[in-house]
Structure 1
Amino acid sequence: MPRHYCLDPHDPYAEHEVLVEFEITARGLRLIAAIEAGGEDILTDLTETQCEDL
C-alpha cells in the first residue's frame, strides 16, 4: 500500500505531518489511514475536503 507524509490538516501553522496510507482499488487510490505523530489514526476526524486534499 502506498504511503507518504502530508501536512497535518488539523495544524493551523503547517508544522506537523501525518502519515497517509492508501489502498489500490480498481477505481484508483482510496485513503485508508492518516496517522499523526502520536500514532493515532485521525482519518475519522477529517472532513471530506481535508481527505481530498491529502
Structure 2
Amino acid sequence: MKLRSFDGQIRAIMDDVLDFVDIVADSELEGAFVWLLRLVGLLAVLSGLGLWLL
C-alpha cells in the first residue's frame, strides 16, 4: 500500500516538472534555461573530478 502512495507522489512530481517545462518553453527563455542546465552539469562534472583527484 505504501508503494501506491509513493507512485502517486512520483506522478504528481512529474506532472509539476512537465508543467514547468511547458512554461519555460512558452516564455522564450528556453535558451537561457538550457545554458543554466549546461552550467550546472559542468559544475557537477568538475566537482566529481575534484573529489576523484583528492
Q: TM-score range by the shorter chain?
A: under 0.3
Q: More helix per residue: 1 or 2? A: 2
Q: More strand per residue: 1 or 2? A: 1
**RCO greater where, 1 or 2, for CA within 8 Å and sep 6 or more?**
1
What TM-score, normalized by structure 1, do the two folds share?
0.24
What TM-score, normalized by structure 2, do the two folds share?
0.24
Say which one has the larger Rg.
2
